[in-house]
Structure 1
């Protein structure tokens, strides 16, 4: 039985028997890298076929005796020559440097290049051994990526500036003019989730000079929702000019104008006005809502919080929607009325627990002895402490009135 021939051993034997010169020639003929040996005057002594091909020479030996000045632009050739002379002077290599190659026709390529001093067996410095690898495609891709990143940074800077400008404008617009009414303290809290938001507070002027207010919450967040607050600000101001002591008619008129303008969205809203002050300091608050039925009242006489459930009206912006019938709420001197968007109730902590209506009631009751604006400020700080590291998930807006 014949023993199988060990092909791998035979191949290794062939390599060992080959002369160093033949191995060197095979390397220079077959490698994809640009390998070269130069003398101390930076003249090519030997080059790989890949390098010759790069310069348009079919025979690599044709490059022997030439220099970079014969192949590249003067700018690149001079830089390469200076680098190589420094290697010869210092006897120190340059490893993995990135070189920009400029050609006589004006084109540009990029390589990573390593150059080292070449010593003969005697130890005497004979020249330079170098290897270059083309990275033009990689470099161009990096430059394209860098340009894209720069454009993105510029666009982000523009967007950030636009956001900041929009925030300043919306901060002035919401609530805008806050009326000063004798014996009524007004407070509000407006904290959008981002630089701009979809919550709106407005106090439209009206023919009877009563305290008329509107609180709205546009579905969604950010710039799109903020655009609709501008529209709602205008529409509520316009309807305020013809207000006839009927918050339901007011909301229905606004709804008629906005229906069909909100693509796949809607608005919840609340409107109301205060009647004239009675001799005992009480007033009646006339209310109507569109999908915004929950409110709170602090009763000064009993030091308690009451939930006020209004008749539910349909949200604004959808065909056929109507506001709830007018609801009359009697408030006594010292009482406070709170209305708000749902962002404060849904504020969550890292455990996923919501601040909730109970948390809102507890905080308002606990700090009812504070001025009404300070009560809202404390409330927001309490919400921040509750949510901790959790990002704000919705716009937070509260509107409060106190009879004095």
Structure 2
């Protein structure tokens, strides 16, 4: 009897539950395994254009509300841009003897409001989510919206979802066993890490190439890849998960702004890489038109989202089509690099078109239309890298061809030159004797140019040695009485020696004579001299060092400025003080600044100014005499008269060199202060 009563009650309960759930498809959780169940075919939808309904009002008036199935939806609902609130309803049954842990997943990150209501036989549980909720307060940390739900053993439950968003409303909804979804989440992050790792490698490598080659195409490629990666990270929810955990404004606006940035950079990159300004000059103004559109529309869209969102999304498609069209036209003109560009952008273009059409509700939402942009971006990134690699190979080949042409021309020129040399050697020998006579004349002219006024020796005690390598040399010096007890000394050394250097010394004299008595400090005189030299003799491709020293006996001071000249030596009792360089060599650059320095001297001090030919004497062992030995010699002979000091120095250098042949002009001046 008791068994009969139990069976009767069980039948009533079963009939009651069948009647309760007969209005909708019941999802049997016993079908769950390692793959998810697509819930869209089992869900009923209610659109609330008034946005006034809440859970209690729906439950109190559910029989009069028209929940309907969307028959054309298979993997996801696509309500495009809608101001309505959508209520979704799905029933579950767990016939198992044990509770089941599941994860309800909505794999679309741009839903502002996404509230779940779990209704069981004994309670109703509300779980709020959506990007209006900080990620730390969501039930599950993921780039998508995940609701962990535990279904009791042998239970029935109903899930309601409330959805509202200013963005396109796409709802791919699945239910997983919790442990399998956790594994899927790990695999998904590995794929994302692989994509963004490749992106980072591409950025780093091409940035490195940019700094080596200084080719702006590589830098523009880096910007394109970086902006594309940010757009993808925003599109697939990675940015919301890792870059900003809670920013409703960015979640709402960032994806379309980043797409506009990608298109702007792509237009600039295309103009540079394909040279569309030269190849398609009539179409080039349209590039700037589309760039301006992609700047203005995102700004307008920020101020009025509802008004401009569809226009902005449409502009992305039109601009992408324009870039694709130019790629086709450049390919028709047989630009090799355009083939790579066209193929690369075709993948991105296809992905962008699919994303746009899905956002506007013209194609269904599924795994392919959701993940398509990321795959397209990866293909575009790799193919563009091939395009740049091909560009680099082309540059290398062009360089090799140019070098071969230069080599052939050089060999031809060398042969012709040898013939001309043979022909002219005879003529040169004929004129050699004439040149020798001319050199003798040049020697006398140069000696006259550096002659010293005998009146200077009345108040200035000095001696000097001037020994050019050949008949004429590149060293020059001048001693000028400024006024009262002040004297100005110039020592200059033109690069090289012989006739060419001697001609430079004539130029030095011609430039220096008009300015040497200016009442200016030495550094200003050198600056004027450098400007005049650059204006008049830069074509000679010669440089020179120089030092100007002003000796003021009245206040016992020395002012000096040195244009890369060897340091003069001031002997003060038992120590030496150097007058170092205060600026670069003359003839390198206009508007060069030279520092002016001042030193004090005492009675009995001695000053030596010289060119580098004094200490760069080399012996048979290729050892250089050096500045240190020179300074030591000058200090060691400080008690001798200047005449003896300079003669002993020349003998010391000759003994060191063990030959009378010198390698450079030699000039040294000594002053008793």
Tell me the TM-score normalized by structure 2.
0.35
For residue 213 of structure 1, the aligned residue among 478, 489, 492 is 489
In 2, are the aligned partners of 1:271 and 1:287 still within 8 Å (CA)? yes
Distance in 1 between the 2:471 and 2:591 partners?
31
Quote the residue 1:258 is aligned against: 533
For the pair 1:271 / 2:577, whether they are aligned, the reply is no
In 1, are the aligned partners of 2:468 and 2:666 still within 8 Å (CA)? yes
Distance in 1 between the 2:530 and 2:424 partners?
44
* Deviation, structure 1 residue 343: 1.1
- More helix, by proportion: 2
Distance in 2 between the 1:367 and 1:349 partners?
23
Q: 1:256 to 1:204 in 2, by over 3 A?
A: farther
For residue 645 of structure 2, the aligned residue among 375, 381, 386 is 375
Distance in 2 between the 1:290 and 1:224 partners?
20
Larger radius of gyration: 2
- Give matches, 1:4-403, under 5 Å: 152-177=428-453, 179-180=455-456, 184-204=460-480, 206=482, 210-241=486-517, 243-260=518-535, 261-262=537-538, 263-278=540-555, 283-292=556-565, 294-300=567-573, 304-320=574-590, 322-389=592-659, 391-403=661-673
Higher RCO (C-alpha under 8 Å, 6+ residues apart): 1
* Deviation, structure 1 residue 362: 2.4
Distance in 2 between the 1:285 and 1:240 partners?
16
Quote the residue 1:101 is aligned against: none
Distance in 1 between the 2:491 and 2:474 partners?
11
Distance in 2 between the 1:219 and 1:336 partners?
28
In 1, are the aligned partners of 2:527 and 2:594 still within 8 Å (CA)? no
Question: Secondary structure of 2:530's match?
Answer: helix
* Deviation, structure 1 residue 319: 2.1
Distance in 2 between the 1:349 and 1:227 partners?
29
Distance in 2 between the 1:293 and 1:152 partners?
38
- More strand, by proportion: 1
Gaps of 5+ in 2: 1-422
Question: Secondary structure of 1:401's match?
Answer: strand
Distance in 2 between the 1:185 and 1:346 partners?
27
Distance in 1 between the 2:593 and 2:475 partners?
18
Deviations 1:155-194 (A, max 9, x none): 2221221112211221221244365255531121211111
In 2, are the aligned partners of 1:184 and 1:401 still within 8 Å (CA)? yes
* Deviation, structure 1 residue 305: 3.9
Distance in 2 between the 1:326 and 1:257 partners?
19
* Deviation, structure 1 residue 361: 1.6
In 1, are the aligned partners of 2:486 and 2:551 still within 8 Å (CA)? yes
In 2, are the aligned partners of 1:204 and 1:237 still within 8 Å (CA)? no
Tell me the TM-score normalized by structure 1.
0.57
In 2, are the aligned partners of 1:293 and 1:310 still within 8 Å (CA)? yes
Q: 1:321 to 1:305 in 2, by over 3 A?
A: farther
* Deviation, structure 1 residue 150: 7.7
* Deviation, structure 1 residue 252: 0.8
Deviations 1:122-168 (A, max 9, x none): xxxxxxxxxxxxxxxxxxxxxxxxx9988555422212211122112
Distance in 1 between the 2:515 and 2:575 partners?
33
Gaps of 5+ in 1: 1-146
